[in-house]
Amino acid sequence: MVVQGPKITITQKTRSVASARREGYMSLREGMTFELERKVTEAELSDRHGNPWVHVFTTPKVVEWMEEVATNGVQPHLSEGQGTAGTVVNMKHLAATPVGLKVKVVAHLKQIDGRRLVFWIEAFDEVEKIAECHHERFIVDLTRFHEKVAKKRGGSAAR
Amino acid sequence: MSLQQGMTFEVTHRVGDEVTAHHLGNEGFHVLATPIIVAWFEEAARTLAALHLEPGLGTVGALVTAKHLAPTPVGMTVRVRATLREMDGRRLLFDLEARDDKEKIAEGQNERIVVSLAKFRERLAQKQAS
């Protein structure tokens, strides 16, 4: 068959669908959006995480919520025995959020590249946008992942 | 300010169950979680800065990047090293690297802004009241 026009696009699409079918996450689609909304409590504050006197929503906690949205959003679309592991976080913390404000985190699934998932995640408090993040996760087979980790642990002095 | 380019600071943490992805809600992943690496990156960079800042000054994180390269099982020890790469007025840029007992597990950068704690608290109170 002779394919004319945007040949490369067609080829990539076919491969991506085929690989999704093979890996068993057919229902996952680029463009999907996942959300969570939650109040910032004392537990998320910087001074609880070693930055004394800075009583704001701490950067690692924002990252944690961002990863949570992406992870939980994708999980229902995976097969039994699959999960995702975070590989890349590029996060800009734009504004400080005091305790008591509600924060909404929205994750957009931008790209599915085989087992690699690319997200653009934004966080807003009640006043303004507070953070944005490029995030990547990998779909992994948990059994194989456990084997790999066990092997690494076995080769070390600890435990 | 006695902060100087090239200064380094290291923090060490043992990986316990409470810092795994599983503990943070990603079921089945009994390995060091990415957000914890981010927290340890920030801890190393922030502490390096804090050791050399005048009283009344602190730093807040503006940007953090992390490439998580390898999983770390529970029981291992992780060393995180921050290196002050750039100083540009109140802006500090740190290079970060984390290694467990076996290999390099993560690398990234953290940009921090030096702030007056009194002014920072004032602005925050204004936002809270709005």
Distance from the B101 Cα atom to the nearest Cα atom in chain A, whole angstroms? 7
- pLDDT higher than 70, residue A13: no
Is pLDDT larger for residue A60 or for residue A158?
Answer: A60
pLDDT at position B120:
86
Burial class (CB in 10 A: 0-12, 13-18, 19+), A33: exposed
- pLDDT higher than 60, residue A21: no
Q: Which of residues 61-80 of B touch A (CB under 8 A)?
A: 61-68, 70-77
List the structure tokens of A17: 């669908």
Best of B24, B36, B60 to disrupt the A interface (most A CBs within 10 Å) is: B60
CATH class of domain segment(s) B8-129: alpha beta
pLDDT at position A6:
44
H-helix segments, A58-141 = 59-74
pLDDT at position A12:
43
Residue-wise pLDDT tens digits, A65-81: 999 999 999 999 999 99
What is the pLDDT confidence band of residue A159, given thresholds at 50, 70 and 90? very low
Which residue type occupies A128?
A: E
- pLDDT higher than 70, residue A153: yes
What is the pLDDT confidence band of residue A22, given thresholds at 50, 70 and 90? low
Q: Give every strand in the sheet of A102-113, ordered side by side.
A: A33-39, A102-113, A116-124, A129-141, A82-93, B57-68, B104-116, B91-99, B77-88, B8-14
List the structure tokens of A45: 């504050």
- pLDDT higher than 80, residue A150: yes
Cross-chain Cβ contact B24/A84 below 8 Å: no
pLDDT at position B75:
96
- pLDDT higher than 60, residue A157: no
Provide the pairing of β-strand B57-68 with A82-93. antiparallel
The ipTM estimated for the assembled molecules is 0.91
Find the CB nearest B38 among A89, A127, A159: A89
pLDDT at position A51:
61
Q: Residue ranges of the domains in chain A?
A: 7-154
CATH fold for the domain made of A7-154 = Thiol Ester Dehydrase; Chain A (3.10.129)
pLDDT at position A8:
41
Report chain B (130 residues): mean pLDDT per 10 consecutive residues: 91 96 94 96 96 92 96 97 96 98 98 92 83
- pLDDT higher than 80, residue A10: no
Residue-wise pLDDT tens digits, A95-144: 999 888 999 999 999 999 999 999 999 999 999 999 999 999 999 999 99
Provide the pairing of β-strand B77-88 with B104-116. unpaired
Nearest to A25 by CA among A79, A67, A88: A79
Q: Residue ranges of the domains in chain B?
A: 8-129
pTM over 0.95: no
DSSP E strand boundaries for chain B: 8-14, 57-68, 77-88, 91-99, 104-116
Residue-wise pLDDT tens digits, A26-62: 789 999 999 999 998 887 776 555 665 566 788 989 9
Residue A153 and residue B65: Cα distance in Å, rounded?
27
